[in-house]
Structure 1
Amino acid sequence: MDLHTVRDVHDARVHTPWRPGDAWLAGGTYLFSEPQPHLRRLVDLSRMGWEPVRHTRDGSVEIAATCTVAELSRYGRRSTARAAPLFEQCCRAFLASFKIWNMATVGGNLCNGLPAGPMISLTAALDGTCLLQAQDGSRRRVRVADFVVGDGLKDLGEGELLRSVTLPARAMAARTAFRQVSLHGLGRSGALVIGVLDPQDGSLAVTVTAATVRPFRLRFPLPPDAQGLAGALDRTVADADWFDDIHGLPAWRRHMTFRLAEEIRRELTADGVR
């Protein structure tokens, strides 16, 4: 879609003061999907030259905000990390064409803050941390689970940039389980639940997205029984937190989340091998 109100596209490599009507441009799959009458200028990140995925000295994985879904999928398929299959599972949750995969970015998916954003699901489940950069160059870090605070709402200041997301080495070595459900075979996710079993202390983290207006990551020092898991979900996710749109009613999303979470609990704990 043409954005008729946009008067200029600025190269982000050349710093210029942020002004009302500016927006960061990465892949642009959302920006160009619908009218954006409030925008006057796009600040283009496509030539920043950030490495899509890299390993840090401590073994963590840093994903650049400009990393595309296609690049992340290739990394996941080549990686030998135990949690690597989760990358492809979340990429496939897009249910998008190869054209979208080659343009849509990890950072764009997080910054849209939509409940069904599968890059939110992936990075929140693996205890990811966002690196945010303000216009004055100062930086801060926020956990992905705290970065998205509601449907389309983020902990992001005016002109602030999501630079990257870092996944800790400990999470990359974890055993994972993935469940996703939609009302239709090729429909948007109605509920997406991911379990992560820590290889060091045996703790279990269960992350709920798509069914809720924001990600919820529940961590259990010891894997709970079925009643403990259901009780924790009931206490953590309030009635108002269940998402409501044409892709699923709140009651259905809640029911499916509890069901999928229990399946994951059984898969990752001793209950699943009895």
Structure 2
Amino acid sequence: MAIQRGTHIIHTVKPGDTVYSLAVRYESDIDAIARVNGIYPPFTDPFVIFPGQVLVIPRLTVDPTETFYVIQPGDNLTRVADRFSSPVPVLAGTNPTIQNPDFVFPNQQIRVPVFIYDVEAGDSLFSISQKTGVPTGQILNANMFRPAISPDLIFEGIKLIIPILVSQNIFVTEPLPGSTIQNNSRIEGYARAFEANVLYRVVDTNNMEVASESFTTADFAGPNFGKFRDTITFNNPPSAQEGELQVYTRSAEDGSIQDLVQIKVNF
């Protein structure tokens, strides 16, 4: 699947912006920006952009796989959270530059729980939704104001913004939805958990437990978000080609599962 690695910037065009000025600002390339956003016929004249248009800008330097949204005048965390299908606490708790959840400022770059997908020949929004487990409505909402993307038609080479399914207290950054995993694959993310304990397991579509419940510890315990990481140990071979990674915590009172995040994976 065409998951795009590296760092990407989600930028809303302002008066005076040009493809060249944005390439310089974000350490990108004018041809790359044009290609992945459909800034060419039949969508528009070559390299022509307009205020309010949303662009996905790939940084050309070797950076971590993460996506940043550039705050616009009038934005607040609730508005950004709604757009990318993420709870406000996740945005506030995983961005060190946000000191007050009620205050963000124009041009501030904040990490958002999404990943970038490079549309391939034969793809449709429905097929991408099936591959990733992310509803088409959430995908369309994340890609508002991108003229090359419509509910009925998407084109090869365009980069889609895909929300990552999160809970109020858990945001998994690796593996990404639709990834292929195997024994000893990495699991990483952020969690706000009692005593910093984060639990996870892997099941296939036949409900066979491929990786039994294991735990890892985040860098910080609640009420703060901490980074967690581990390697997934398979206890049984998968009996199907697809499954899901389940990441969660358990109640200190009755042991019930809380904050369950389900990431669709392949084997």
TM-score calculated relative to the size of structure 1: 0.27
Q: Which structure features the higher share of strand residues?
A: 2
- The structure carrying a bigger helix percent of its residues is 1
